[in-house]
Amino acid sequence: AANVGVLSMVVYFFMLVAMYAFLANLIFTLTTHNSIVPEHRITRVMGAIIAAVAGLSYYFIQDYYRHMLADLSALGTEAERQELIRTSYNAIGQYRYMDWAVTTPLLLLKMVSMLRVESSKAKGAITALLLADFFMVLTGYIGEQQLDAAGHILVGPKLFWGAVSTVGYLVVPFVLYRLWNRFKDQAKPIERKSFKIIALSTVTTWGVYPLGYVLSVLDIDMNWIHLSFSVADIINKVGLSVVVYLAGKTLLDE
Amino acid sequence: AANVGVLSMVVYFFMLVAMYAFLANLIFTLTTHNSIVPEHRITRVMGAIIAAVAGLSYYFIQDYYRHMLADLSALGTEAERQELIRTSYNAIGQYRYMDWAVTTPLLLLKMVSMLRVESSKAKGAITALLLADFFMVLTGYIGEQQLDAAGHILVGPKLFWGAVSTVGYLVVPFVLYRLWNRFKDQAKPIERKSFKIIALSTVTTWGVYPLGYVLSVLDIDMNWIHLSFSVADIINKVGLSVVVYLAGKTLLDE
Ligand SMILES: CC1=C(/C=C/C(C)=C/C=C/C(C)=C/C=O)C(C)(C)CCC1
Ligand SMILES: CC1=C(/C=C/C(C)=C/C=C/C(C)=C/C=O)C(C)(C)CCC1
């Protein structure tokens, strides 16, 4: 810790833990491919992709953070340190968006397939879901780039783009809810239960990200946002994978 | 974004998204190997190779671009920035050619095998296809190297080599069309449909590359070319992979 502070070191800890958790999830998903019913195997493929992309993304994140820590330890005052943590937050945070561009559509497709939605019968809804999600990620990324020449957040523009992004975000649970109404009767009980859990996560554990986005304009230690995002990523990505595995395994055992 | 501009950051975003998309495609291709009919499995192997090479190529591209961004943020005026974006474009753009030298022949072989062309019966046509393609890539690469001592494009020579390369390019759809006429009756309907989609892409979404090549001699922000190429790469490589998967899966289900 020396003079970078314990919080910074705990953030670094969770970044590496997240990276290892995704590696674990990748191996778990690949090796249990045959322990679940064939209909759900394609969702395991998506799970493997999510794990691999997130793992690589966290490799970049922790690498950037590690270099930042080295610079941090050379700084004399707490004000200088907070300044570096703030400006580097914006550089590190942006890596999450490239990951989300690939992984969040797959998370949504996993949810949809849990309900045995036949893609041919719900083309419009699935397209809307994916477009809204991509719109959310891209406009959020543009919002993250609203910085002045010194690398400080331009509060007004950042919040404006955040509001734009939220429009896409709100479409997601709305479409999922409509799909639920249309297809819930054809799914098996365990699939219904699993769908409910994972679909609800889009308005609960997914909510951590817009919250962090808004809090970033305040004068807080940005390390708290790094920390929450790392923990939320593990829950959202590995958690979903476990739920799908348990459902698919229960169906195979039956 | 600070002083490098939002467009540069969006370009960086799409470079990483493309890299992740290829990683995703690699895992997808490898894990769904047995979900498609045996006759088309060899095309999945080609798909895996394409994904791996493209992913590594994008690793180099985004890495170069990231260092360029760091230099960019140190420059004071917009004119200096555009100058760096222009000269680094030529350095970054060339990485695409090494990728194409390996991946475009495989893309063409994937198309050909979708039509159940027996290679023994079409040796001449397939050889012509691959040679024309390689000629296109190599002469295009030589064209990209037509720079003066300051790193600026020599318009005349670049366009000359572009025209030479176009000769190779035009041979590709011509040969594909002849193969279509010869073999279309022995392919199944879904294979015919898939071949049509992917073969047409050589004159539609492949057209982005010669267009970008020509536009590069104009006084435009080269970031737009980076952006279009990254998006086109995802469509051409991942899109083709999905089309082949859907065709192979439909045939297995039947
Ligand atoms: C609404 C909103 C956002 C939502 C982000 C979300 C919902 C991200 C979800 C990420 C997930 C699920 C990752 C997986 O592990 C942004 C882009 C922060 C910008 C501000 C407005
Ligand atoms: C005609 C022409 C070109 C054509 C390039 C093509 C057609 C590239 C295709 C790449 C693909 C399909 C990549 C896969 O993702 C060059 C070399 C730019 C040089 C200028 C003339």
Lining ligand 2 with CB less than 6 A are B 100, 103-104, 107, 136-137, 140, 143, 162, 165-166, 169, 206, 209-210, 213, 233, 236-237
CA distance B207 to B201: 8
Assigned domain for A242 exists = yes
CB B34 within 8 A of CB B63: no
What does the pLDDT read at residue B179? 95
Q: Do A141 and B9 touch (CB under 8 A)?
A: yes
Assigned domain for B127 exists = yes
User: What is the B117 CA–ligand 2 centroid distance (Å)?
Assistant: 24
CA distance B66 to B16: 10
Q: Do B32 and A42 touch (CB under 8 A)?
A: yes
What does the pLDDT read at residue B53? 97
Q: What is the mean pLDDT of chain B?
A: 93
- Whether ligand 1 lies within 6 angstroms of the CB of A47 is answered as no
What does the pLDDT read at residue A78? 86
Assigned domain for B1 exists = no
Q: Do A52 and B13 touch (CB under 8 A)?
A: no
Contact residues for B191 (Cβ-Cβ < 8 A; gap 6+): B114, B115, B116, B247, B251
Q: Which domain holds residue A108?
A: 6-253
Q: Which residue in chain B has the smallest CA separation from A142? A: B6
Q: What is the pLDDT of residues B116-138, one digit of tens each?
A: 888 888 999 999 999 999 999 99
Share of chain B above pLDDT 70, in %: 99
Q: Do A53 and B20 touch (CB under 8 A)?
A: yes
Helices (H), ranges, A145-207: 155-183, 189-201
Please count the structural domains in chain B: 1
pLDDT in single tens digits along all 254 residues of chain A: 567 889 999 999 999 999 999 999 999 999 988 888 888 888 889 999 999 999 999 999 999 999 999 999 888 888 898 899 998 998 899 999 999 999 999 999 999 988 888 888 899 999 999 999 999 999 999 999 999 888 899 999 999 999 999 999 999 999 999 999 999 999 999 999 999 999 999 999 999 999 999 999 998 999 999 999 999 999 999 999 899 889 988 988 87
CA distance B96 to A151: 32
Confidence band for B104, pLDDT divided at 50, 70 and 90? very high
**φ, ψ dihedrals at A147, nearest 5°:** -130, 150
Query: B16, B36, B77, B223: which to substitute to probe chain A, counting the most A Cβ within 10 Å?
Result: B16
Assigned domain for A1 exists = no
Chain A and chain B share a number of CB contacts under 8 A equal to 60
Contact residues for B251 (Cβ-Cβ < 8 A; gap 6+): B36, B37, B39, B40, B188, B190, B191
CB A44 within 8 A of CB A26: no
Q: Do A142 and B32 touch (CB under 8 A)?
A: no
Among protein residues, the one with the nearest Cα to ligand 1's atom 2 is: A210
CB A166 within 8 A of CB A213: no
Beta-carbon neighbour count of residue B131 at 10 Å? 13
Assigned domain for B176 exists = yes
What does the pLDDT read at residue B253? 84
Assigned domain for A189 exists = yes
CA distance B175 to B196: 14
What does the pLDDT read at residue B76? 81
Cα atoms found within 13 Å of the Cα of residue B205, Cβ hemisphere only: 18
- Whether ligand 1 lies within 6 angstroms of the CB of A210 is answered as yes
A156 CB-contact burial (10 Å; exposed 0-12 / middle 13-18 / buried 19+): exposed
- Whether ligand 1 lies within 6 angstroms of the CB of A166 is answered as yes
Q: What is the pLDDT of residues B183-237, one digit of tens each?
A: 999 999 999 999 999 999 999 999 999 999 999 999 999 999 999 999 999 999 9
Assigned domain for A241 exists = yes
Q: What is the pLDDT of residues B42-77, one digit of tens each?
A: 888 999 999 999 999 999 999 999 999 999 988 888
Three-point CA angle A193, A199, A200, nearest 5°: 90
User: What is the A190 CA–ligand 1 centroid distance (Å)?
Assistant: 28
Contacts of A148 in chain B (CB under 8 A): 2
Residue B194's CATH number:
1.20.1070.10
Confidence band for B2, pLDDT divided at 50, 70 and 90? low
- Whether ligand 1 lies within 6 angstroms of the CB of A165 is answered as yes
| Highest averaged pLDDT of the listed ranges A69-78, A82-91, B26-35, B153-162 | B153-162
What does the pLDDT read at residue B74? 87
Residue B105 has pLDDT above 90, yes or no: yes
Assigned domain for A69 exists = yes
Q: Do B6 and A145 touch (CB under 8 A)?
A: yes
What does the pLDDT read at residue A1? 52
